Amino acid sequence: MQCLRSHSAFVKMCVHIFLSVCVCVCVCQECTDGYEWDAQTQHCKDINECEMIVGACQGEMKCFNHYGGYLCLPRSASVITAPEPSSQSETSLPVETNEAFSPCPVGYEAQGEVCVDIDECRYRYCQHRCVNVPGSFSCQCEPGFQLAGNNRSCVDVNECEMGAPCQQRCYNTYGTFLCRCEQGYDLSPDGFTCNDIDECSYSSYLCQFQCVNEPGKFSCVCPEGYQLLGTRLCQDVNECDSGSYQCAEGQKCVNVHGGYHCVDSNGCQDPYVQVSENRCVCSSVKPECRDLPFSIVFRYMSITSERSVPSDIFQIQATSIYPGAYNTFRIRSGDDAGDFYIRQINNVSAMLVLARAVTGPKEYVLDLEMVSINPLMSYQSSSALRLFIYVGPYAF
């Protein structure tokens, strides 16, 4: 004969009924949680959860069995176990308080007739923060950390791999992270956003002509007629050498700073006649040539604006030297403002000097004359160099 309820005991009782027949009747008794029926003693006995449950307590906590349950306490704690009851069923267990047995649920302790929540956080089980809750506790970590598998230790969180809000670069550190920016950007006060640095606003010397700010960098540009030399300097483009000029027939290209000029291949004017590509003569047999230089040679040059002064810009050299002749040099025409002067070097050469700073674009046509006097032969003659000076629009 069997009872139908689990964890139950049955007691055979003989009941005298009619005709003096003895009938066995099952009287079922059930054990409460934490106890099981002992067929030998015919009583409910305590279950040792510390032996039956694998990992009943985690981390540094130790499992202590007591009647009807178990406790997780620090390993330094000690519990005095009372003798096991011998002949009482679970229904008649005494409700009394001692060090080995508590009638309160796990996580509570008896104080008189009241069960009071245990403050488990006093045992410093958690690495960072311990939060006590009724009947239990939980461990929490500071920002930048997460709870490890043992539910008590805290490990660093790599925010850079978890979508940290850095706009450009992210560096993980212990418990937090740092945002950094690429070269050419500044980190904004919010610590996440990168703002472009306007390098052009910091200095006017970054570029020789003009600075152009770009995202994360800057670049230098040059005016028309110039090209970038390296990263910041500008140099003139020689259109005459590159062939990027357009001159009419009978003209030739003369390169100047920032552009070019087309000049007549034959610059001789009456009464002069052309004798070579850049030389004209006026014969002394012509009455109109009597007070004019015998020959004129054409030269072209270009200088930059705002040149430091005084500045030597062109040297005049005699091509024919006669014994006993004495040579002098002067500016015959074209320097009405007095921007130039002649410094004679010796008997056969002189230097044209820029006396005042000039700003272009501007053009000068100077006739530089060399007068030769031979007192022994009572002879005097002169020749001129017609110098076209083009002043560029910039100081480069």
What is the chain's alpha carbon radius of gyration, rounded to the nearest angstrom?
A: 56
**What CATH number should be reported for the domain whose range is 159-196?**
2.10.25.10
Average pLDDT, the chain: 85
pLDDT, position 389? 98
* CATH number belonging to domain 267-391: 2.60.40.60
Per-residue pLDDT, 79: 61
Rounded to an integer, what distance in angstroms lies between the CA atom of residue 15 and that of residue 59? 57
- Whether pLDDT at 6 is above 50: no
Q: What pLDDT was estimated at residue 99? A: 46
Round to whole Å and give the CA distance between 283 and 296. 12
DSSP code per residue over 27-96: --EEPPTTEEEETTTTEEEE--HHHHSTTSS-TTEEEEEETTEEEEEETT---PPPPPPSS--GGG----
Give dist(CA 370, CA 350) in Å, integer.
9
Q: What percent of the chain has pLDDT over 90?
A: 62
pLDDT exceeds 60 at position 349? yes
Rounded Cα distance between 306 and 323, Å, is: 42
Q: What is the pLDDT of residue 281?
A: 96
What pLDDT, on a 0 to 100 scale, did the predictor assign at position 26?
A: 42
pLDDT at residue 236 is higher than 70: yes
What is the β-pairing status of strands 29-30 and 8-9? Answer: antiparallel
pLDDT at 328 over 90: yes
**pLDDT tens track for 164-178:** 999 999 999 999 999
> Out of 49-53, 239-243, 337-341, which region has the weakest mean confidence (pLDDT)?
49-53
Let me know if the fold of 159-196 is the same as that of 203-236.
yes
Q: How far is residue 311's CA from residue 192's CA, in Å, rounded to a whole number?
A: 56
3-state secondary structure of 224: coil
Tell me the per-residue pLDDT of 49-103, one tens digit each, with 9 for 90 and over: 888 888 888 766 788 887 778 888 776 565 655 554 444 433 333 434 444 556 7
Position 126 scores a pLDDT of: 94
Residue 23 has pLDDT above 80, yes or no: no
- pLDDT at position 78 is 58
Q: 203-236 belongs to which CATH class?
A: mainly beta
> How far, in Å, CA of 205 to CA of 188, rounded?
26
Give the other-Cβ count within 10 Å of 64's Cβ.
Answer: 19
Among the listed ranges 52-66, 115-129, 263-277, 278-292, which one has the minimum average pLDDT value? Answer: 52-66
Under DSSP, the state recorded for 291 is T
- What is the predicted pLDDT for the residue at 75? 63
Hey, where are the domains in the chain? 8-49, 159-196, 203-236, 267-391
In this structure, of 17-21, 95-99, 144-148, 250-254, the range with the lowest mean pLDDT score is: 17-21
The pLDDT of residue 3: 41
Please say if the pLDDT value at position 237 is more than 70: yes
Q: How far apart are CA 106 and CA 102, in angstroms?
A: 9
Please tell me the predicted confidence (pLDDT) of residue 36: 87
> Is 90 exceeded by the pLDDT of residue 312?
yes
SS3 308: coil
Characterize the bridge pairing of strands 233-236 and 226-229.
Answer: antiparallel
